[in-house]
Amino acid sequence: MTTSALTSEFLDALGARTGIRVEFYDPTGTRYGFPTFPFRLAPDALATRRQLRADGLCPGGFDPVAQILWRHKKQRRIAYLYRRDLAKPKRIASPAQLAVIERMLIARRTCGTCGNTRDYYIPRSIGTCLSCAAGGHR
């Protein structure tokens, strides 16, 4: 991906017209060491992990090529951007894997003391259902 594909005409024109430098706009990576964009102003060819997941994709083992920086409650936040054209389809769990997951979730709801399956997960801090923890078996 070329540097020209990462530039924003809007932000470049804003800087040229007003002389104002947008804080987190650095498509060449000279200021932050990595191509950087402000919140909601990244090129369409790049996407975060969440955006890829929403499209049924994953980064496919590739490293991020850029980042988004923004401030939130006096903290600097960061989100990494991946190339959409290199993204691969998400893996789908097999029926056997889904069956194992279902059994594991049932085991998390089964009390080790009374053996009842509850409609909530057994708290790991006490190790039994809430009825057994209160002292009685129901």
Map residue 112 onto helix, strand or coil. Answer: coil
Q: How confident is the model at residue 41 (pLDDT cuts 50, 70, 90)?
A: confident
State pTM to two decimals: 0.63
Q: How confident is the model at residue 123 (pLDDT cuts 50, 70, 90)?
A: very high
Identity of the amino acid at 45 = A
Nearest to 42 by CA among 78, 67, 23, 62: 67
Return the number of other C-beta atoms located less than 10 Å from residue 48's C-beta.
17
